[in-house]
Structure 1
Amino acid sequence: MECDLQHAVVHAGGHAFSYNKISIILHFHQGSGEQETTRAGIARFLLSKSRNYQADHDYALGQRTPDTGGWFLESAEYNQWKSRAGRYLECVGVPGAGKTVMSGIIIQDLQLSDPTPVVLLIYNNAYSQAVGDPQQICLLSLLGQLLLQTASASISQELAAIYNTYRSDKNRLPEIRKARYILKQELASAPYSFIVLDALDEFCVGNVTAQKQLIGELWDLGTSVLVTSRHAAPFTAGVRVSCPIVARDEDVRTYVAATLKQLSLLRDITKPRKGFVMELIDGNVSKSDTIFLRPKLMLGSMSKCSNVVEVRRILRASSSLDEVYGTLFAQIRQATPWVFHLFYLLLLARDTEMGERAVLQYLACDEWEEGDLNDRVRTADEVIAACRGLVTTVMHPRVVDEGSEAGLVFQFCHLSVREYLDSIT
């Protein structure tokens, strides 16, 4: 069966999927259940042992507002790095500047390049740390990604050996030394290759030594590396190019205008008032201070307003990011105080991985006295709406939640939310 869905071609029963010129090779094996030794099969094995960042990439790219971020792709620094004139591109940005979304934009741009390069990605997330040696997890993931993108190449003896040695052992990871050696061999055979590392500062949060070691591992692979981070990347050698990431006024304006069209309540408030939409756009741009997060949170707060006076009060009062957070938490405490149980859970049980359904049941317990608990359970959309943009749901690699979509967990929309709560508790 073949379906054409707006530039997407899917072959059911085959093994190819393409969307907007990005090709992903999928192999389906039927029969005895014994896994065939192919590069794609070994890749799936390695990714199951480490981390598949595809969901993180899809989420990051999904947060992009159309027609934003183009300035970075046109920058001299990025194109110099992309042409391999410099091995390192350092992209520093303050919290909320849009670094992770920009990583998604960059990865997509590289994937659409001609000739098509090998593009490997690492998305770091302070809320979702892998179990085991984090550097080992990263290298195994990079090797798995590389094998998927070069599925037609032959299988080396070393690659076959590492697969045959570890595939039946669920408790052991392939040795980092062997994975590093094979990854370097494979990358040496690729004519063009790039690694995009997002949020270095969220890799082993606060452990600068571990972050330096990861950069050292990537340097040793001999390929071009782009790193986004809150702080300067600890490159110790090689040609380095820097291009800061900021939310430019024109991109913030595009984002705010697009968001206002989606917020039905604000749309109803602004519709009869000529010029008020432009006032909102200009006001949010002036308050953005080179980050997307501030107008995003302000719009979330405004979406609960019932009249123009309330909207203008938020627009005039909000200044620093901490003040925006203070306003939001005050509104939540007054309107939906029950959701603070979720904030406490995310703040205090940061190492506990609870699926979406389990958290919804936990929140319902506060109001449950008799009858069926499920009658008190709110939907995830209701909970997220009550959080006013401070919390979202994402796929988690190690969570399968019975009765809910596998892998969904609640987390703060941004690391700075947790940092704000830590600062006031």
Structure 2
Amino acid sequence: MATSRSNVFNSTGSITASGDARIHVGNSHRHLHIHSEAVREETEQLRISFLQRLRACPYEERKNRNPQRAEGTCGWFTRHTRFQNWRRQRSALLWVSADPGCGKSVLSRYLIDAVLPVSDDRIVCYFFFKDDFEDQRTLSIALRCILHQLFRQEPSLLSSEVLKHRCAREIVCILDALDECSDSKQLIEALTATFVGGQGTHRLKVIATSRPYRIIRSDFATLEGVQPTIHLSGESKEEANQISEEISVVIQQHIAQLTKLRQLSSTQAESLRAAMAASENRTYLWVYLVFADLDKASLLNQYALQEAIEALPQELDEAYDGILSKSENPAQVLTVLQIIVAAERPLHLREMAVALALGGKEYHAYQELEADVSDATQLQQEIRDLCGLFIVVVDERLFLLHQTAREFLVRPSSWTVQRLKWRHAVDLSLAHAVLADLCMRYLLLQPASTLGPKVRGIHITGEPLQDSVFLGYAALHWPEHYRHGATQASNELDSMAHTLCVQQESWLGVHTSNCAVDRHDDKPITPLEVAAYFGLHPLIHLIVPPLGSGRRVNWWDVGRALALASRHGHAAFIETILKSHISETQAKARTFHSTEMLDRISLFKGRALIRATTHGHHHIVEMLLEAGADANFIENNSFLSYLTGRAKATPLSTAARRGDDRIVRLLIQYGANSGIESSGDTALLRATKQGHHDAVELLLNHDAEIDAVDPDRRTALLCAVEAEAQAIVYLLVTRNAN
């Protein structure tokens, strides 16, 4: 018997009986027992499935990528008054900042594993943000992982009443490297909203670490103004001195170990200690690299040690440059670094082996490539010989040693020749072009009919297939690399990309989203739609016939492409197609009074404007408005619009419903009329129903009709009261709303 999923969990995580179950109570104990067992089984399956979906990345494994603390370190933090106060409070936030290489992530791991472990009275959740993992960059994934830990440690919270349930245990949440979170501003705003009102009734305590960036401090300013003790600054003089003292302890431990292994004299040991103490830019990472280099030295007699001491790098960048400069094959080193830096996720050794083989020569058959691919174990040793400690291998995946290594390598937009050979050696756009070339050449080595079935069978977890090792990565990521490397693209690169847009079977099946999202027919996806979906603007001139060429332009294809690119935020694609085809055609249509073409272009721009507004792409909204898109466009003729609830949607009502003040302001600036109804609601009513105070105020300031009614004859004031939006109620009352 079917059971409604909405009543599976009650507030304690146990089963809530449905109406069907109550009927069975009156008829048969056996029926009730069978039904209860079925409900319990379904509940458990739901619980397991839900928890699996929450576990967005292997967060414990990622925590353990960070080394354990050295004996005698981290005391600067655990003994600090602000941390001790944080421990005593019922609810508190502590933001810890420190410079790169000072052991923030090591500290976070130490707190989780040893200082604040899980106990009967404490739940501990954590997330380590990292730039080098696509599944460690975003707030949404962090929240999923935190919820997974929370529900595993306190199963009673996993219920339909979770928002009303109060957890009796203390909840500690540790967020490492906020500065590497792509949504850090949104996260800090949420933390501020949670803690700005004082301790409240919850027992939530948060520690967040980051570099001492001005923008992070600015985002915390509101909370710091109310609670000045939330910030523990590791870069301030007193704390920095304590960290320096702890680094000295670690140096002494390394020297003692080296003395024992290499039988150094007391004079040699003291010379090494003095040389390292003289460096003004000491960090844990610098110490690690220096001693790793000394450990590798084949000979360490008095002369060799003195030579090593004199060559000690004075800063981290010098240590990095020294590692890479030792290679006898700098061209191959650069290729490896370009691939690792540009890759959308850490590559498996087998994937890197294929990429390096492809980069070595031209292949005409897949079998030729397979014969040249290095064994994973062999490649690991080759990369260690090439790049030294700069590249690390964890679970057969390749990583840069540290975030500072990436910053050392990647060339900024304003760049000058560097004193150090390898500093800023990687042009990111060129690196993407290199990886795009490798991905596309791999996909074109085998017939589309051969790759198609394999692609459709790939589950995108990042695990390479046993055969066609590089297929999953190449199929999934070549469009991004081609787009990001557009400034470095060649005719050959453009030609390969065009071929793949035509031969979609070889790779498109790996993408979970459908390029034909705005289509309601069963026609094949066109190459232009593929290019629009992925923002491949250099291909427009290869796919769409140039104006005046005498070849027919499929304008409906152009219109769909404009809408797709607007939906997915591809500004360069939109700008290119507006300039190359739409603007000139519109000008000619005006000259020759072609009403049909003018109406068609107006429709294309209007639909694109709705898509851009719906998905919050401010810069594209502005671009389309500047290009003449109608700010009062009403989409009411699309079958898909009816299905998706966008029937009679206007850009302004769409932006108001989303609470997107910036787009609301833009649309008003370009003449949007707040009185035009969207499915029976004005923009003001839509903003009010969704509780968007700032959007409501903005609309009122631009003469929105305050007493307009919806199809149920409710005014904005009544809607605000029903929504319990007190701030909006107050605002409307002060404006004399009825």
Determine if the TM-score, normalized by the shorter chain, exceeds 0.5. Answer: yes
Distance 1:381 1:55 in 2: 23
Q: Deviation at 1:135?
A: 2.5
Partner of 2:284: 292
1:117-170 Cα distance to aligned partner (Å, 9 max, x none): 111111000111239x9232222222111001113x264225xxxxxxxxxxxx
1:276 equivalent in structure 2: 268
1:58 equivalent to 2:39? Answer no
Q: Identity of aligned pairs, percent?
A: 22
Match in the other structure for 2:309? 315
- The alpha-carbon deviation at position 390 of structure 1 amounts to 1.4
Q: How does 1:11-410 map to 2 (within 5 A)?
A: 36-37=44-45, 42-47=50-55, 50-60=56-66, 62-84=67-89, 87-112=92-117, 116-130=121-135, 134-151=138-155, 153=156, 155-157=158-160, 182=162, 185=164, 188-204=166-182, 210-221=183-194, 223-231=204-212, 232-233=216-217, 234-235=219-220, 236-237=222-223, 238-239=226-227, 240-245=229-234, 246=240, 248-259=243-254, 270-287=262-279, 289-308=281-300, 309-317=303-311, 318-331=313-326, 333-334=327-328, 338-347=332-341, 349-363=342-356, 373-374=373-374, 378-380=378-380, 383-384=383-384, 386-394=386-394, 408-410=396-398
Which stretch of the first structure deviates more once superposed, 371-380 or 228-237?
371-380
Cα 1:352–1:55 shift into 2, 3 Å: closer
Amino acid across the alignment from 1:323: E
How far off its partner does 1:99 sit? 0.8
Q: Which has the larger radius of gyration?
A: 2
**Corresponding letter in the other structure for 1:200:** L
- 8 Å contact 1:46–1:141 — kept in the other structure? yes
Alignment TM-score, normalising by the size of structure 2: 0.41
Cα drift, residue 214 of structure 1: 0.8
Q: Go from structure 1 to structure 2 and tell me whether the alpha carbon gap of 1:225 and 1:185 turns closer, same or farther (over 3 Å shift).
A: farther
State TM-score, norm by structure 1. 0.68
Secondary structure in 2 matching 1:157 = coil
1:413 equivalenced with 2:401 (yes/no)? yes
Q: Shift of the alpha carbon at 1:80?
A: 0.9
Aligned to 1:122, the other structure's residue is in SS state strand
How much does 1:101 deviate?
0.5
| 1:377–1:367 CA distance, 2 compared to 1 (3 A) | farther
Cα displacement (A) at 1:230: 0.9
Q: Do the aligned partners of residues 67 and 365 (structure 1) sit closer, same or farther apart at CA in structure 2, a change above 3 Å counting?
A: farther
Rounded Cα–Cα distance in structure 2 between residues aligned with 1:363 and 1:259: 37
Match of 1:177 in 2: none
Q: CA deviation at 1:373?
A: 3.8
Q: What are the Cα deviations for residues 277-300 of structure 1, in whole angstroms up to 9, with x where unaligned?
A: 343344334426352111112223
- Aligned equivalents of 2:332 and 2:42: distance in 1? 50
Letter matched to residue 137 of structure 1: I
Structure richer in helix, relative to its length = 2
SS, match of residue 388 in structure 2: coil
1:387 aligned counterpart, secondary structure? helix
Q: Deviations over 1:371-415 (max 9, x none)?
A: 664469625255336533212123xxxxxxxxxx5xx42111111
- State whether residues 35 and 41 of structure 1, in contact with CA within 8 Å, keep that contact through their aligned partners in structure 2: no
- Aligned AA for 1:292? Y
Instruction: Report the 3-state secondary structure (helix = DSSP H, G, I; strand = E; otherwise coil) of the residue aligned with 1:59.
Output: coil
The answer on whether the counterparts of 1:248 and 1:290 sit within 8 Å (CA) in structure 2 is no
Change (3 A) 1:59 1:52: same
Unaligned runs of 5+ residues in structure 2 are 1-40, 196-203, 235-239, 363-367, 412-423, 426-738
- What residue identity is the alignment partner of 1:357? R
Cα offset, 1:201, TM superposition: 0.8
Match of 1:11 in 2: none
In 2, are the aligned partners of 1:121 and 1:196 still within 8 Å (CA)?
Answer: yes
Letter in 2 for 1:356: L
Structure 2 residue identity aligned to 1:420: F
User: After the TM superposition, which of the residue ranges 247-256 and 51-60 deviates more from structure 2?
Assistant: 247-256
Contact in 2 for aligned 1:196/1:225 (Cα 8 Å): yes
- CA distance in 2 between partners of 1:100 and 1:376 (Å): 29
Contact 2:93 2:230 (8 Å CA) reproduced: yes
Pick which of 67-76 and 377-386 moved more.
Answer: 377-386
> Which has the larger strand fraction?
1
The answer to whether the 8 Å contact 1:360/1:380 transfers is no
Structure 1 residue runs without a partner (length 5+):
1-32, 159-181, 205-209, 395-404
> Closer, same or farther in 2 for the Cα pair 1:373/1:248, shift >3 Å?
same
Counterparts in 2 of 1:146 and 1:375: CA distance versus 1, 3 Å:
closer
Whole-Å Cα distance in 2 between the matches of residues 267 and 364 of structure 1?
43
Partner letter of residue 344 of structure 2? D
Greater Cα offset, 89-98 or 355-364: 355-364
C-alpha distance in structure 2 between counterparts of 1:324 and 1:375, whole Å:
30
Change (3 A) 1:288 1:256: farther
Shift of 1:356: 2.3
- Contact 1:252–1:285 (CA under 8 A) maintained in structure 2: no
TM-superposed CA distance for 1:276, in Å, is: 2.1
Residue 302 of structure 1 aligns to which amino acid in structure 2? L
* Contact 1:126–1:415 (Cα < 8 Å) also in 2: yes
Q: 1:278 to 1:140 in 2, by over 3 A?
A: same
Choose between structure 1 and 2 for higher RCO, CA contacts under 8 A separated by at least 6 residues.
1
Structure 1 Cα separation of the partners of residues 356 and 307 of structure 2: 31
How much does 1:95 deviate? 1.0
Query: What is the alpha-carbon distance in structure 2 between the residues aligned to residue 314 and residue 335 of structure 1?
Result: 23
Letter paired with 1:355: H
Aligned residue number for residue 29 of structure 1: none
The total of aligned residue pairs comes to: 341
1:67 CA drift (Å): 3.4
Pairwise CA distance, 1:319: 1.1
The answer (yes or no) to whether the contact 2:90–2:205 under 8 Å persists in 1 is no
Q: CA RMSD in A?
A: 3.5
Aligned to 2:534: none
